[in-house]
Amino acid sequence: MSAKQKKTLSQHIKWWWTTRITGFFKIRIFGYIKDTLASAPDTISFNKDALPMAEPNDEGITVVLTAYLRSQYLVEQIKALQSQTVPPKEIWVWSNRSSDELRDVSDLADRVIVSNSNFLFWGRFSLAAMARTKYVAFFDDDILPQPRWFENCLGTIASGDDGILGGSGVLLPVTGGYSSKHKAGWNGYQFSQAVQVDLVGHAWFMKKEYLKYMWYEEPFSWDNGEDIHLSYMALKHGGIKTIVPPHPSTDMSLWSCRPDYGKIVGRLGVATYKKSNHRSIRSKIVDAHTADGWLVVKKNPTFHLPEE
């Protein structure tokens, strides 16, 4: 083995000059000048800073709302949540980038995430993975929960009907494809007991741990069908059913949404599903899951609707 070659004096000087002198001026001095002359960065000034994240809690509810094109209704939503007989520990808002609105509502909510990209409905579900509470809840922006909705959800779970709970459940047809003709909840059949459905929308309530199933597989479509994907993934990978808690016609305080509010705001709103026909893609999603082994509720031999 040949002896290790030593640098000559001129090589030592060249190495020292390159790494110490030239590098100092190029990186430190020129970098400082360039940064000084650069335009000031854009900043977002929040109305209110959030408190430090809480420690994990074996109980409690974290709510995730969204701001897109109808954030003017957030004030009413948040008041309705704060007035629950079982109020949430924290209320978070995901502010999606829209064509004409990116709104800071930190003076209303406990935490606000302002995104310069529109992550549609997926962002809120990924955000909730960071909640420190046992339960997480979600609401579309045209849903106004009634005072005992969370109490209703917790009571449903305590009675043995645990799962992905929601306020507007869909019973899919046995012939395949997607149809929301048969619903249970505030805008469908109003049962006095919990009922199993294939998927829920508008409002969700669940143990935070169930969110993990949503990401076990890539969605069939990123453009639509998050409600279908969540319910099927939870059932397939966790055996977790999707359930609509009681919505008795005699006691609307238990309902997930005040019906006049949901129908009026939804009709006046500009939600994507109001502007486009997504039935085709939703049918493709359902058919793909059915081919994968999804047995919709109506195909179960023991299926029957409870008394309204």
The region that residue 229 occupies, defined by phi over 0 for left and psi between -120 and 50 for alpha, beta otherwise, is alpha
Other CB atoms within 10 Å distance of the CB of residue 56: 11
Please answer whether residues 111 and 130 qualify as being in contact, where contact means their C-beta atoms are separated by less than 8 angstroms: no
Tens digit of each residue's pLDDT, the chain (308 residues): 445 566 677 776 776 666 666 655 555 555 555 555 555 545 567 777 788 888 877 889 999 998 777 777 888 999 999 999 999 999 999 887 766 666 677 788 899 888 777 778 888 899 999 999 999 999 998 899 999 999 999 999 999 999 999 999 999 999 989 999 999 999 999 999 999 999 999 999 999 999 999 999 999 988 899 999 999 999 999 999 999 999 999 999 999 999 888 777 655 554 444 445 688 999 999 999 999 999 999 998 877 777 65
Q: Cα separation of 72 and 92, whole Å?
A: 16
Q: Please, what is the Cα angle at 13 between 9 and 14, to 5 degrees?
A: 115
Q: Cα separation of 245 and 261, whole Å?
A: 20
Q: Cα separation of 225 and 219, whole Å?
A: 8
Please answer whether residues 190 and 259 qualify as being in contact, where contact means their C-beta atoms are separated by less than 8 angstroms: no
Please answer whether residues 92 and 127 qualify as being in contact, where contact means their C-beta atoms are separated by less than 8 angstroms: yes
Name all domains of the chain by residue range, CATH numbers in brackets.
61-299 (3.90.550.10)
Instruction: Answer whether 0.85 is exceeded by the pTM.
Output: no
